[in-house]
């Protein structure tokens, strides 16, 4: 099948939810993907932070083959060998006590919101109205289901679907005073992406996160962190909150957990977990034997790669900052580990750069209009970073030259115009 025939059929048969890039991928290995003509692409996006071990990792491939030939699905009505072991590994690295497994990021987030409300009800001892308000952040992104949308602080995602779940107020991200002002005893949860991903790779300020932690602790509310994009090794630590010395009451993870098989998880403390009872929450598919067997192998590999992520991440960020000194169009470089961003001065430029790189066989992503987002596989090496930086440098240079010659042309035309006017005068 060709790109043309696939895209023609999709245009006719799918809901029009995606604006796909014009590439058909048929194969991947390590940090590379290939199209049907054999053109190779260097992957600096890893399926939006999912393929952390790269494509076709031999251990993951072997695990899928082995497990698929034994048992794929049994439902959560029975035991299988892998959920408890996966929960043990996740609780060990997170510092939390218990896990619930689901299928995606948004589903993990929905479960986390339910857990926060259920905890507030279970701990409402004096007969007054239980805590119910949720403080969420401007510019956040938590997914596409209704609870996730209700806590996503970006009108473009929410507006077409109102009315959403009630009880959510938004706080300006990293505005300590506003958090203090909007927080009161009716709040059951403060919800934060430790590093806002879709919103342009914006890390939470230490002061803001510490205040959220203190306020929730003091009032009996919960600190709920979304680490669906930033968690599980992406920043060079198991969780981004581990850079801050803060422990949340609930954390959600998903993306890289099962290396491309759908799997998400809610992790929480013993104290919070006790408010869930059989029947209050569940899923048919979540935490099946195939995905969990793969996730166990992922976590073994992730542990070995943390140091590498920190080293290559630092090198990568340093190289992006060197470009920042060179190109006026770069507004900012930020992020941690291998979750990095370069903010440009216009959406058109960001679009043009991403398009030019794709044509050259390098996959990056544009988010939040002006931000180039880099979420490469953890196995990326310095030589791959060098290749990307060279391509970015050239694309930004080309743009600067084009802009220069266009404004020179404009200047010429308008000065001719001015001369003309003089002649008339």
Ligand X SMILES: Cc1ncc(COP(=O)(O)O)c(C=O)c1O
Nearest CA among 238, 173, 229, 246 for reference residue 341: 229
Tell me whether residue 104 or residue 329 sits nearer to ligand X (CB atom).
104
Could you tell me which stretch among 84-92, 182-190, 224-232, 327-335 binds ligand X (CB under 6 A)?
224-232
Q: Is 143 in the site for ligand X (CB under 6 A)?
A: yes
Among 43, 110, 193, 302, binds ligand X (CB under 6 A): 193
Report, in Å, the least distance between residue 421 CB and ligand X. 55
Report, in Å, the least distance between residue 286 CB and ligand X. 12
Q: Is 226 in the site for ligand X (CB under 6 A)?
A: yes
Using Cβ positions, the residue closest to ligand X within the complex turns out to be: 105
Report, in Å, the least distance between residue 372 CB and ligand X. 16
Report, in Å, the least distance between residue 111 CB and ligand X. 12
The pattern of x and - marking residues 317 through 356 that bind ligand X according to CB under 6 A reads ----------------------------------------
Q: Is 235 in the site for ligand X (CB under 6 A)?
A: no
Tell me whether residue 152 or residue 216 sits nearer to ligand X (CB atom).
152
Residue 160 C-alpha from the chain's centroid: 22
Tell me whether residue 60 or residue 192 sits nearer to ligand X (CB atom).
192
Q: What would the 3-class secondary structure string for the chain be? A: CCHHHHHHHHHHHCCCCCCCCCCCCCEEEECEEECCCCCEEEECCHHHHCCCCCECCHHHHHHHHHHHCCCCCCCCCCCCCCHHHHHHHHHHHHCCCEEEEECCHHHHHHHHHHHHHHHHHHCCCCCCCCCCEEEEEECCCCCCCHHHHHCCECHHHHHHHCCCCCCEEEECCCCHHHHHHHCCCCEEEEEEECEECCCCCEECCHHHHHHHHHHHHHHCCEEEEECCCCCCCCCCCCCHHHHCCCCCCEEEECCCCCECECCEEEEECHHHHCCCCCCCCCCCCCCCHHHHHHHHHHHHHHHHHHHHHHHHHHHHHHHHHHHHHHCCCEEEEEEECCEEEEEECCHHHHHHHHHHHHHCCEECEEECCCEEEECCCCCCCHHHHHHHHHHHHHHHHHHHHHHHHHHHHHHHHHHHHHHHHHHHC
Q: Is 142 in the site for ligand X (CB under 6 A)?
A: yes
Tell me whether residue 260 or residue 313 sits nearer to ligand X (CB atom).
260
What is the Cα Rg of the chain in Å?
24
Tell me whether residue 148 or residue 396 sits nearer to ligand X (CB atom).
148
Among 110, 198, 297, 302, binds ligand X (CB under 6 A): 198
Alpha-carbon gap, residue 73 to 85, rounded angstroms? 17
Lookup: tokens for 396: 């930004």
Report, in Å, the least distance between residue 227 CB and ligand X. 7
Among 118, 209, 228, 375, binds ligand X (CB under 6 A): 228
Report, in Å, the least distance between residue 135 CB and ligand X. 17
Report, in Å, the least distance between residue 306 CB and ligand X. 20
Q: Is 141 in the site for ligand X (CB under 6 A)?
A: yes
Among 101, 109, 119, 276, binds ligand X (CB under 6 A): 109
Tell me whether residue 48 or residue 176 sits nearer to ligand X (CB atom).
48
Q: Is 179 in the site for ligand X (CB under 6 A)?
A: no
Residues in contact with ligand X, counted by CB under 6 A, come to a total of 15
Q: Is 239 in the site for ligand X (CB under 6 A)?
A: no
Q: Is 229 in the site for ligand X (CB under 6 A)?
A: yes
Q: Is 385 in the site for ligand X (CB under 6 A)?
A: no
Hey, which residues between 69 and 108 contact ligand X (CB under 6 A)? Answer: 104-106
- Tell whether the torsion through CA atoms of 58, 84, 247 and 216 is positive or negative: positive
Q: Under the rule (CB under 6 A), what is the footprint of ligand X?
A: 48, 104-106, 109, 141-143, 193, 197-198, 226, 228-229, 254
């Amino acid at each position: 099948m060709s790109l043309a025939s696939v895209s023609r059929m999709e245009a006719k048969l799918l809901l029009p939810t995606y604006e796909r890039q014009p590439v058909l991928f048929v194969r991947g290995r390590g940090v590379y993907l290939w199209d049907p003509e054999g053109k190779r692409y260097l992957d600096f996006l890893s399926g939006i932070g999912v393929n952390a071990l790269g494509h076709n990792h031999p251990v993951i491939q072997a695990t899928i083959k082995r497990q698929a030939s034994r048992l794929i699905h049994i439902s959560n009505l029975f035991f299988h060998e892998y959920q408890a072991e996966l929960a043990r590994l996740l609780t060990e690295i997170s510092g939390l006590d218990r896990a619930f497994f689901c299928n995606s990021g948004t589903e993990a987030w929905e479960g986390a919101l339910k857990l926060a409300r259920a905890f507030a009800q279970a701990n409402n001892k004096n007969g007054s109205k239980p805590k119910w308000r949720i403080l969420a952040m401007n510019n956040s992104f938590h997914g596409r289901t209704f609870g996730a949308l209700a806590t996503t602080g970006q009108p473009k995602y929410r507006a077409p679907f109102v009315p959403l779940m009630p009880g959510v107020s938004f706080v300006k991200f990293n505005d300590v005073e506003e958090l203090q002002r909007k927080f009161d005893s009716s709040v059951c949860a403060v919800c934060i992406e430790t590093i806002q991903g879709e919103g342009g790779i914006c890390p939470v300020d230490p002061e803001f996160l510490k205040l959220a932690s203190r306020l929730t602790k003091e009032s009996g509310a919960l600190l709920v962190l979304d680490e669906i994009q930033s968690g599980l090794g992406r920043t060079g630590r198991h969780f981004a909150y581990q850079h801050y010395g803060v422990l949340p009451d609930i954390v959600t993870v998903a993306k890289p957990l099962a290396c491309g098989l759908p799997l998400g998880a809610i992790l929480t403390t013993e104290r919070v977990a006790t408010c869930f009872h059989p029947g209050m929450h569940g899923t048919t598919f979540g935490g099946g034997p195939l995905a969990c067997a793969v996730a166990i192998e992922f976590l073994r590999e992730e542990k070995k790669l943390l140091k590498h992520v920190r080293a290559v991440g630092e090198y990568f960020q340093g190289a992006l900052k060197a470009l920042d000194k060179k190109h006026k169009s770069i507004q900012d470089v930020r992020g941690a580990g291998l979750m990095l961003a370069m903010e440009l001065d216009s959406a058109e430029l960001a679009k043009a750069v991403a398009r030019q790189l794709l044509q050259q066989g390098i996959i990056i992503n544009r988010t939040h209009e002006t931000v180039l987002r880099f979420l490469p596989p953890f196995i990326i090496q310095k030589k791959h970073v060098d290749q990307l930086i060279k391509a970015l440098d050239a694309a930004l240079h080309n743009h600067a030259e084009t802009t220069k010659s266009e404004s020179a042309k404009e200047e010429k035309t308008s000065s001719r115009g001015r001369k003309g006017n003089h002649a008339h005068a």
